[in-house]
């Protein structure tokens, strides 16, 4: 679906007298020095994209990649165009899952074609934001690339914040006095972090290259802005690593807790078993059938036996309390 | 066995009036600028390969490597030829195993000799596909190298998909409420991943070099295509790593589960033992032989004792249920 | 808040006839070769910082970073200025926690603007110290950068010393004969170390570049001083790593201890259970109702039975003591 | 001991009219372009080696290294000579151990002195092999270096094969239904792998340099041969790593098995204990001394009790069988 | 304390007519080409070192480092001098501990000032050794640097040998049939290895630079000697790593052993409990009070019961022996 297509002249959107899907018409008017076209597509069908590709002479290999939406983040240079793939991330509260989409961008001297898959990183609002910042938009296609990267990386940060909260929850759960079963939660979080890592890590390289101003078609003046984005990507990547290693430590602590609880349970159980055993032993003793057992004939022998059982139990109970077994 | 040998002229297969095994005759006709010969061998005997080597003056060390079929993936340059070794992978459903074969390619200015071992990556169909894409095949030997690499790497991806499914199965098994014995399955999957890694990881370097267009005899125009292949290889390699680390986490979770189940079992067992012990203690008490035990002479003493046993058991049972021990 | 602003001429603070907040006035007097201005801010409001930015023409992206205070340590170069971000660390005894603040510095040819967030690394005293070392201060803005870096890194070292003490405590606790629950403590320390790592590790690169004398606006003559700082940063980073891996080992040892204690407890419990069981068995034996049981009619049969119980118990007790089960 | 010394001219051994230990005489005849001397020593005494050193002007530091036989594999260049140290490996079946020896080579323009320690990599047979391949030997000292490296690396491969078999055995043992104690075996194998790694890993660098043809005194024409050796070294090194990580996984699986067996044993034990407890409880019940217990006076009361015990036991037995506890 | 100060001319110690502490006098005589002064200090006081610094114009930052003795090993270049810091290691048998000291060296064109802290690497004997090797000493300050580095690294090797022995002891302990508590020992050894690593690892870089002959003031002719030292440093560093990973494996094996022993103990205990339980059950059976229990009236009923108990116990005992539970 073609979401929007527009011609920008010196950072200002120019009204074009044609339907937004008549891309050839739009493109033909981008003749001036500061003119460029931005076409935004969302999950386009093959033929839709083919048509766009024809208008802007996009490289067939890149077009193929843009349709499939199972790429690694990457920046590729074709003769007179760039092809940039970003993974978008968003957090689904219902099941604490991180989901991934993809944005592909074709960048030429006077056009940008952005192809979005999945529901992350809504671009139309990014376009509206950008249209209000004429100074920025005046930098041409670079500004669009920057705006989209910035938007995507901002979403990474909010995903990371959500994961951070999850990790905090796991942490409290692991160290709560309750018996908890955190291993599945930890596993799922590690899997989500691994997914986030696959989206974020490969992006460092392209952002660094933008920040160094060494990519043709991306304006050198935009370098400080991309440096900012690159910085955020690195911070996100570092956070992923430290959350991951924190989870490993939390898992170990969880294991230690299970072992300790097992030990405590065992001691508690054994203490009670001992208390029962001593009673059984005393009762067994007076259940013997000897002819000559003086206690049996005592007036209060039975009560003595009962007292013995209770006393021994109580004595043991107190001992166990003192030594921490109960 | 010589599977096929053919002369291509500007991307089109040329009928040659000689048997497909008469390689000298085939070769001698490859005189024009856009001519090249592609000889496909499958598990050739030593002398068969020696004969081919003589026709194309292949380097003896490379020929030796091509016979043994226990090489690492590698790209080597001899004076006027390239020698490329790829490992093929395929997944055997019966035992969830990954098996490996090997493809060796000798690439000269106007010939390609491909030597396949094992049953993976059937090349004849790759040849037929390629013969229908005259434009591609017109790039000469580079096109053949690309087609074979692409085919092999596509198979990597399908192997990875199968392994991904296996990992998903392990994951559900580990977190199912049943008692499962996943450690052997995890071990086997890690071993298979390790085998896949050995096939895939060393291939990144040669593909990157092809993609950079810095390998003689491989056309610079083919670079974007190899960039695509290189990209897939990197993605496969990354997936191997993340599956591997996911399996490690799953194993840890499996261990945690075993410990938790042990703990639960122990508590369940102890609870029932306590219930039995309290009955035995009461019975023991009334089995004592004291002369003076009033309860023994009560009309309903026995029923009282039975009631006491049942009551105490039921009381304990309810307590244990409440505290989660049962 | 503007903490202080001053004009320095050849290393000496010059009295300026204007309020410390009238920065334009201060700046305008910094006309000579050896003149520079140092403005120190502490958690400035947005508009406060905007005003300073206008006076010194600071780059808007850097200004934005300086307000947010959630940056990675970094050194960035703008046209005619440097922007340096440091994380400050301090140790809070109450909860063994490491807290982080941030210092941002804008460095120009004849000015330094330092922006501090959080309560770590008090800078005003650093300024007073520096003002007494005219020779050093005479190097201009570089001296200020050095003094602040030095101060911050010194605080890293004291934080590390505190963490080292904590690790020593954990170590004694793990190997004490008591039952200890060290896993939470270890977890918290690893989390603090991870926080410290995030502050320290990225600083190595900027310090190395200062030490190499390859950063414009930072005097080459200051290189040996920065080499000193860089050295300290590396040492701190190494200490973080070795404390971290020591904690991992301590955790493993803690787990081994839990297992060993579990084993010891189980053997102790079992030994006592055996002692009780043997008594119960003997009593049970003489509780049988056979017509013909000679012992029952012996004069001292009962005492024999008691003696048997005690003797067997004592015998077992001694055996268990000898074999280490008790 | 001087094992052999010979003069080679254009790849052919030349009869020299002097004793093999009269090295000066041998050397003096190596005057032509294609002439060189190869002296082979086995565990030479200090003075023996000193004498050889004098004849060929070997560097004293290298000579010292060659005597001590506790070097890392390395390639060093002295003014007009190379010094190469290799570790030899061999597998001792008796105790599954990997043992190490050492070969040192001094390589000059027209001589090779090889010094072997330990019983691995017998060199005299390598010499005889080489003498039959005149073409190869005609490359001079490089051919000798290649032949020895090739021989040593071939032995690495056979050692690895043996270790692979050991790992396979451990694997079957770990997953066999028997109770096995594999941890010591795994430990020993990891130690052997670590020893092999120390021999193999440092050799990659020198072999790569030979393969790149960038080492003086080693003929560029030999580069493809060394590339082959380098390739084998890398493959061996990779196999070491993957065996090592396989053993780690096997160890984890072993731990999981122990835990599972512990759990199974505990459940089996508990089930039988429950069966015994229920019988004891019933017997206890009818051992009570109440005046009024109707069952006691039944004609077949005792048989009913016995039946109850057996019935309850059988019932429990069947339940436990069904639930998998027995 | 100034241990010694001397003037060397072409490798020979020259008698100087002044007290060894009158450094200015000594220095002033070092006028010739082959002259240099070597001042050796041991834990100098601040003012002592200040005085030396004045005589040789040592850089204040380096002097500060030399007093504090808490540096990382490093090599720094000042305008016309080198500053080298080494950590010394020695092994204290009493508590299996590795202790660390420090040696700092100031190296100029015609002087060496060595400052030693701690009791490791006694330098005066190194001086005496060196004074006997005139040829070596004739290389000037480089010879002193080499001699000290060589001495220090030799001590590393002897420390590593001691640690190797400790690891061997741990290994035998872990796999001995006894119950051992090796985790503390392993922990301590890992801590010592970590300390050794911090001393050794950073030294690789400076030694490599000396070995490459790329450090001014250090003679290129000394390069082969430093290559030897560099080689030893690398070997020591590798040994540290492999001991460390061996200890990790030993720890895992220790854990496996604890688990196995737990399992064995549990089975042994359970077997004996079963034997006791069967006796108790039989006795309980004949303790029932039924009117009609034929066995009770048998002549040898009691002996039959005793026989039953013994027989059942013995039967169980044999079964458990056979199945390995006892």
Q: In this predicted model, what pLDDT tens digit does every residue of B253-296 receive, in sequence order?
A: 999 999 999 898 888 988 888 898 999 999 999 999 999 899 99
Give the lowest-confidence range in A25-34, B241-250, D304-313: A25-34
Q: Distance between CA B90 and CA B103 in Å, rounded? A: 13
- DSSP summary character for residue B290: -
The structure tokens 């077992």 sit at C316
pLDDT recorded at residue E91: 93
Q: How many C-beta atoms surround the C-beta of residue B31 within 10 A?
A: 10
- The token duo for A221 is 């003046």
Mean pLDDT confidence for A253-281: 90
Confidence of residue C287 (pLDDT cuts 50, 70, 90): very high
Q: Is the pLDDT of residue B173 over 80?
A: yes
Contacts of residue D309 in chain E, CB cutoff 8 Å? Answer: 285
CA-CA-CA-CA torsion sign (B40, B43, B49, B53): positive
Mean residue pLDDT of chain E comes to 91
Q: Is C296 on the interface with E (CB under 8 A)?
A: no
Mean pLDDT confidence for E79-93: 92
The structure tokens 């921490």 sit at A324
Q: Distance between CA B232 and CA A268 in Å, rounded? A: 58
End-to-end CA separation in angstroms for chain E: 69
pLDDT recorded at residue D194: 94
Mean residue pLDDT of chain A comes to 91
Q: Is B301 on the interface with D (CB under 8 A)?
A: yes
Q: What percent of chain B has pLDDT over 70?
A: 99
Q: Judge whether B255 and D259 are in contact, CB under 8 Å.
A: yes
Task: Please give the angle made by the CA atoms of C87, C91 and C96, to the nearest 5 degrees.
Answer: 130
Query: Comparing C-alpha atoms, which of E137, E140, E131 is closest to residue E33?
Result: E140
pLDDT in tens, E254-297: 999 999 998 888 889 888 888 989 999 999 999 999 998 999 99
CA A10 to chain CA centroid, Å, is 39
Mean pLDDT confidence for B2-15: 89
pLDDT recorded at residue B26: 87
- The token duo for A253 is 């602590």
Mutate to test the interface with B, among D204, D235, D253, D266 (most CBs of B within 10 A): D253
Contacts of residue D76 in chain E, CB cutoff 8 Å? Answer: 224, 227
Query: Comparing C-alpha atoms, which of B176, E253, E183, C257 is closest to residue D254?
Result: E253
Q: Is the pLDDT of residue E20 over 80?
A: no
pLDDT in tens, A72-100: 899 998 888 999 999 999 999 888 889 99
CA nearest to B274 within chain A: A273
Q: Is the pLDDT of residue B69 over 80?
A: no
Mutate to test the interface with A, among C68, C181, C187 (most CBs of A within 10 A): C187
Give the lowest-confidence range in A219-228, E115-124, E204-213: E115-124
pLDDT recorded at residue D180: 84
Q: Is A61 on the interface with B (CB under 8 A)?
A: yes
Mean pLDDT confidence for A267-284: 90
Q: In the sheet that C12-14 helps form, which strands lie side by side, from edge to edge? A: C12-14, C2-9, C35-42, C111-117, C97-107, C81-92, C74-78
Q: Is A250 on the interface with C (CB under 8 A)?
A: yes
Q: Judge whether B118 and B88 are in contact, CB under 8 Å.
A: yes
Q: Is the pLDDT of residue C121 over 80?
A: no
- DSSP summary character for residue B222: G
Among B residues 154-183, those touching chain A with beta carbons less than 8 Å apart: 171, 174-175
Q: Judge whether C142 and C209 are in contact, CB under 8 Å.
A: no
Q: Which of C245, C263, C292 sits opposite E194 (nearest CB)?
A: C245
Q: In the sheet that E111-117 helps form, which strands lie side by side, from edge to edge? A: E12-14, E2-9, E35-42, E111-117, E97-107, E81-92, E74-78
Contacts of residue A280 in chain C, CB cutoff 8 Å? Answer: 280
Q: Distance between CA E86 and CA E89 in Å, rounded? A: 10
Provide the shortest C-alpha distance from residue D311 to chain E (in Å): 15
pTM as predicted = 0.88
Q: Which of A238, A253, A259 sits opposite C198 (nearest CB)?
A: A238
Q: Is the pLDDT of residue D158 over 90?
A: yes
Residues 6+ away with beta carbon under 8 Å from A199:
A73, A87, A88, A89, A100, A156
Find the farthest-apart pair of alpha carbons in chain B and give their distance in angstroms, rounded.
Answer: 123
Confidence of residue C314 (pLDDT cuts 50, 70, 90): very high
Contact state of C249 with E191 under an 8 Å Cβ cutoff: yes
Contact state of D288 with B287 under an 8 Å Cβ cutoff: yes
pLDDT in tens, D251-306: 999 999 999 988 988 889 888 888 989 999 999 999 999 998 999 999 999 999 99
Confidence of residue E17 (pLDDT cuts 50, 70, 90): confident
Q: Distance between CA E54 and CA B273 in Å, rounded? A: 85
Q: Is the pLDDT of residue C205 over 90?
A: yes
Q: Distance between CA D231 and CA B73 in Å, rounded? A: 10
Q: Is D92 on the interface with B (CB under 8 A)?
A: no
Q: Judge whether D108 and D139 are in contact, CB under 8 Å.
A: no
Mean pLDDT confidence for A155-180: 92
pLDDT in tens, E23-49: 888 888 888 888 999 999 999 988 899
Q: Is the pLDDT of residue D179 over 90?
A: no
Mean pLDDT confidence for B72-82: 90
pLDDT in tens, B216-264: 899 888 888 999 999 999 999 999 999 999 999 999 999 999 999 989 8
CA D212 to chain CA centroid, Å, is 28
Query: Comparing C-alpha atoms, which of E290, A277, D145 is closest to residue C280?
Result: A277
Q: Is the pLDDT of residue C316 over 90?
A: yes
Q: Is D220 on the interface with B (CB under 8 A)?
A: no
Q: Is the pLDDT of residue B120 over 80?
A: no
pLDDT recorded at residue D185: 93
Q: Is the pLDDT of residue C158 over 80?
A: yes
Confidence of residue A21 (pLDDT cuts 50, 70, 90): confident
pLDDT recorded at residue E220: 86
Q: Distance between CA B149 and CA B210 in Å, rounded? A: 11
Q: Distance between CA D67 and CA D71 in Å, rounded? A: 10
Contacts of residue A186 in chain B, CB cutoff 8 Å? Answer: 249, 253
End-to-end CA separation in angstroms for chain C: 69
pLDDT recorded at residue B123: 86
Radius of gyration of chain B (CA): 35
Q: Distance between CA A180 and CA E1 in Å, rounded? A: 63
Q: Is B260 on the interface with D (CB under 8 A)?
A: no
Provide the shortest C-alpha distance from residue A284 to chain B (in Å): 6
Q: Distance between CA C254 and CA A136 in Å, rounded? A: 58
Q: Distance between CA E144 and CA E127 in Å, rounded? A: 8
Helix A123-131, helix A141-175: angle, nearest 10: 130
Contact state of C284 with E283 under an 8 Å Cβ cutoff: yes
Name beta bridge partners: A74. Answer: A85
pLDDT recorded at residue A17: 75
Q: Which of D59, D187, D259 sits opposite E224 (nearest CB)?
A: D59
Q: Judge whether A284 and C286 are in contact, CB under 8 Å.
A: no
Residues 6+ away with beta carbon under 8 Å from E149:
E86, E207, E210, E226, E229
For the purposes of burial, counting CB atoms within 10 Å of the CB of B39, is it exposed (0-12), middle (13-18) or buried (19 or more)?
buried
Q: Is D260 on the interface with E (CB under 8 A)?
A: no
Provide the shortest C-alpha distance from residue C200 to chain E (in Å): 17
Q: Which of E256, E281, E289 sits opposite D289 (nearest CB)?
A: E289
Mean pLDDT confidence for E67-84: 88
Element holding C84 (H helix, E strand): strand C81-92
Coil/strand/helix, residue D75: strand
Confidence of residue A221 (pLDDT cuts 50, 70, 90): confident
Q: Is A71 on the interface with B (CB under 8 A)?
A: yes
Q: Is the pLDDT of residue D16 over 90?
A: no
pLDDT recorded at residue E23: 86
- The token duo for C247 is 């904690």
Mean pLDDT confidence for E207-234: 91
pLDDT recorded at residue E124: 86
Mean pLDDT confidence for A228-249: 94
CA nearest to C226 within chain E: E61
For the purposes of burial, counting CB atoms within 10 Å of the CB of C314, is it exposed (0-12), middle (13-18) or buried (19 or more)?
exposed
């Amino acid at each position: 679906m073609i979401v929007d297509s527009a011609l920008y002249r010196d950072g200002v959107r120019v009204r074009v007298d044609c339907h937004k899907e008549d891309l050839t018409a739009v493109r033909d008017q981008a003749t001036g020095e500061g003119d460029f076209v931005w076409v935004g597509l969302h999950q386009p069908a093959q033929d839709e994209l083919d048509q766009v590709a024809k208008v802007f002479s996009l490289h067939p290999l890149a077009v193929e990649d843009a349709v499939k939406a199972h790429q690694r983040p990457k920046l590729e240079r074709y003769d007179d165009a760039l092809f940039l793939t970003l993974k978008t991330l968003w957090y689904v509260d219902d099941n604490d899952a991180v989901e991934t989409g993809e944005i592909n961008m074709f960048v030429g001297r006077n056009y940008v074609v952005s192809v979005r898959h999945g529901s992350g990183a809504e671009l139309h609002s990014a376009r509206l934001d950008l249209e209000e910042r004429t100074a920025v938009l005046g930098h041409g296609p670079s500004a669009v690339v920057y705006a989209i990267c910035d938007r995507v990386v901002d979403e990474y940060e909010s995903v990371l914040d959500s994961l951070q909260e999850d990790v905090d929850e796991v942490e409290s759960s692991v160290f709560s006095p309750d018996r908890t079963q955190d291993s599945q939660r930890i596993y799922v979080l590690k899997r989500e972090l691994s997914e986030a890592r696959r989206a974020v890590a490969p992006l460092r390289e392209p952002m660094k290259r933008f920040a160094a101003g060494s990519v043709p078609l991306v304006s050198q003046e935009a370098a400080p802005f991309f440096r900012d984005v690159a910085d955020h990507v690195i911070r996100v990547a570092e956070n992923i690593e430290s959350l991951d290693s924190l989870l490993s430590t939390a898992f170990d602590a969880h294991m230690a807790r299970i072992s300790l609880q097992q030990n405590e349970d065992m001691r508690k159980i054994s203490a009670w078993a001992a208390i029962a055993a001593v009673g059984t032993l005393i009762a067994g003793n007076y259940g013997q059938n000897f002819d000559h057992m003086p206690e049996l004939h005592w007036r209060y022998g039975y009560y003595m036996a009962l007292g013995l059982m209770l006393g021994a139990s109580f004595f043991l109970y107190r001992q166990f309390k003192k030594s921490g077994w109960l």
